[in-house]
Homo-oligomer: A and B are copies of this chain.
Amino acid sequence: PKLSIFATIVSNLRKLQKSEQDMRKLLHSVKVAIALVLVSLLYLLDPLYKQVGENAMWAIMTVVVIFEFYAGATLSKGLNRGLGTILGGAMGFSAATFAQEVGGMGKGNAIIVGFSVFIFGGAATYSRLVPRIKKRYDYGAMIFILTFNLVVVSGLRAENVLELARERLSTIGMGFAVCIFISLLVFPTWASDELHHSTAHKFQVLADSIEEFLESYFRLDKENLKDDQPSSISSRCKSVLHSKSKDESLANFAKWEPWHGKFGFYYPWNKYLQVGELLRDLATMVLSLKGSLQSPRQPSSSLRQSVKEPSEAVGLSLAWSLRELGESLMKMRRCPQENVILPKLKSMRLELSSMVSPVSNFGPLENVEGLAIASFV
C-alpha cells in the first residue's frame, strides 16, 4: 500500500509537472520580461541615463544573453561572461599599450594589433574546441575573444580606454545583478530539482515497463493487446535511453547552483550521472526483451505457462526493488529495504541459474545497481 501511494504521488507529480512545465515556461518569460524592463529603465529614466549614457546598451545585452531557463545556467553564463570580459579586457589593454609603446602611433602599431588579434583570436577559438573547456567555459572563451578584440582595436582610437572599460563593466555588472536577483530569488527554476526528479522518475518508468512487459508476454493470446502495449514500453524506455545528454547538461548547471533546499554544496551530482548510466543499461535490456515480443515466432503457450510463475516472481520483485530505490532516492534517505533487496536479488539469481530464462541477464546488473544506489543515498 505504501508503495502504491508513492507510485501515484510520482505519477501525479509528473502529470502536474507536464502542466507545470507550461507554467514554468510562462513564469520564465515573465521573469525575463521584468528583467528587460528593469534594465531598460537605465535608458528610460533621465537621472539614470545621465549616469550611464550609451553604455546602458551593455546592460540590456547582458540580460538578453545570459538569462537562461535554469538558475544554474544563468549563473554559469553570467560568471563566464564576467570572467571573459575582465580577462579579455585586461589582456586587450595590455596588448594595446604594448603596441603603442613599440609601434608608436603609426603603421607599426596597427600591424602589432592585427597580429595580436590573430594570435589571441586563434588560440582562444582553438580552446573552445577542446571538450573539457567547451563543456564549462565555452561562453567565457567567446566573450574573451570579443572583449579582447574590441579593446585592443579601440586602444588605437579611444584615448580613455580605462574609463570606457570601467563604465562598460559597471553596466554589465548591473545587467548581471538584475539577472541573478530575478533568476535565483524570484521563483527560481533549479536544474538540480529537475535532475533529481527525472532520475527518480526513470526508476518508475523502468518498473512500469517491466510489469507491462510481463503482462503482455503472458497474455499474448489476446491479440488485441499485442499492438499498443509494446510500443508504449519501447517509447518510454527510449526516452530513458536518450536522456544522457540532457542529464549531463542538467548536472553541469546543477554544479553551479548555490546551496538551496535539500541540496548542499558539493552535492555529488556525478553520482546521478552514474545512476543514469546504469538505468540506461537496464533500459537497453528491457528494450531487447520487448523486441522478443515482436518476433513472429513465439514459444508455444504451454512453454510460456511453464516459465510464467518464476518469471513473474523475478520481474515483479525487480519492479518492486526499482520502485523502492526510486522512492528512497526521491526522498533522499538510505533505502530502508536495502537489507531486504540485496539478499532477495541474490537468491533470485540462484534460482534463475537453475533454469534458462530470457530474464537471466538481469540478475548481475540489478545487483550492481542496488549496490551503487545503496552507497549513494
Contacts and interface: CB of A to CB of B under 8 A. Distances in A.
B125 A295 contact: no
Contact of A126 (B29, B113, B156): B29
Contact of A28 (B114, B129, B281): B129
Contacts of A121: 32-33, 36-37
A132 interface: no
A30 B125 CA distance: 9
Contacts of A203: none
A157 B43 CA distance: 8
Contacts of A125: 28-29, 32-33
A356 interface: yes
B64 A145 contact: yes
B25 A126 contact: yes
A118 B34 contact: yes
A287 interface: yes
Given A69-B129, A157-B49, A61 B291 contact: no
A10 interface: no
Contact of A118 (B25, B36, B117, B242): B36
Contacts of A119: 33
A178 to B, nearest CB: 13
A26 interface: yes
Interface stretch (A147-155, A205-213, A315-323): A147-155
A146 B64 CA distance: 6
A56 B32 CA distance: 29
B295 A363 contact: yes
Interface in A40-57: 40-41, 43-45, 49, 56-57
A33 B122 CA distance: 5
Describe A's contact surface by its main secondary structure: helix
Contact of A64 (B122, B142, B156, B244): B142
A61 B153 CA distance: 13
Given A60-B149, A60-B150, A113-B40, A296 B364 contact: yes
Contact of A26 (B40, B126, B296): B126
Interface string A133-148: 0000000001001100
A37 B148 CA distance: 12
Contact of A288 (B29, B30, B285): B285
Nearest to A22: B129
B242 A114 contact: no
Contacts of A229: none
B297 A291 contact: no
Nearest to A245: B245
A118 B35 CA distance: 9
A244 B61 CA distance: 33
B44 A113 contact: yes
A88 to B, nearest CB: 10
14 contacts: A29-B122, A29-B129, A32-B125, A33-B121, A36-B149, A43-B156, A44-B110, A44-B114, A44-B153, A61-B150, A65-B142, A242-B245, A296-B349, A297-B353
Interface of A: 25-26, 28-30, 32-34, 36-37, 40-41, 43-45, 49, 56-57, 60-61, 64-65, 69, 110, 113-114, 117-119, 121-123, 125-126, 129, 142, 145-146, 149-150, 153-154, 156-157, 241-242, 244-245, 281, 284-285, 287-288, 291-292, 294-297, 299, 349, 352-353, 356, 360-361, 363-365
